[in-house]
Amino acid sequence: MFWRMTGLSAASPVDTILDKENFTLEELLDEDEIIQECKALNTRLINFLRDKAQVEQLLRYIVEEVPEDSEKKRSFKFPFIACEIFTCEIDIILRTLVEDEELMNLLFSFVKPGQPHSTLLAGYFSKVVICLMLRKTSPLMNYVEEHPDIVVHLVDLIGITSVMEVLIRLIGADETIYSNCVDTLQWLENTDVLEMIVDKFSSSVSSKA
């Protein structure tokens, strides 16, 4: 009754961490209420997460494989939470990502040849890219247009279901995404992506014959 009458309430565990003089991103990611606080648009939390250094580290959890003997938090929990933070669709965090060439390069480094491309991280990568397609369509598509090798790399990974979903959306199966991107549609029409996909499947069939 006292708390209701005075209007006071206990601070959230996330705010308790933010109140500390020194805290780390990992401490926040390890807090069970962080996604709830993101969705509630906790201003202090979002102002911390929007910083380039934090966005970069969140991306690294999603695109970089770790040794098998790494802690479970690093291997599973932190990549999952990092993906969830991006897919909360907080505009200021997404803007930090799409407006920075280095961060976009880091995100799409996942599809480069020679990477492990684990199914788990591929799923997180795909969720983040699709989120950008929906919420930051123009800057995302402009980036892909300026880096055409991305399409080639996506085709190479078409055997991974989540990556295939990105490719399907990219080439326009979901036309609602491109309603305001006429230039992007024209560029996509001029690419050989459909031929690349056919060649990929043809070579796959030939290798199995």
The whole-number pLDDT of residue 191 equals 75
Reading the block at residue 13, the tokens are: 């565990």
Q: Which domains does the chain have, with CATH numbers?
A: 50-208 (1.25.40)
The amino acid sitting at 41 is L
pTM for this prediction: 0.86
With beta carbons less than 8 A apart as the criterion, state whether 112 and 153 touch.
yes
Q: How far does the chain reach from its first CA to its final CA, in angstroms?
A: 75
Residues of the chain with pLDDT under 70: 1-10, 173-185, 188, 193-194, 198, 200-209
pLDDT tens digits along 56-67 = 999 999 999 998
pLDDT tens, residue by residue, 106-144: 999 999 999 899 999 999 999 999 999 999 988 998 899
Structure tokens at 90: 């907080």
**In contact, 155 and 191? CB cutoff 8 Å:** no
Q: Determine the Cα–Cα distance for residues 187 and 142; give it in Å rounded to an integer.
A: 10
Output the pLDDT for position 56. 99
Report, in this order, helix, strand and coil percent for the chain, each rounded to 5: 70, 0, 30
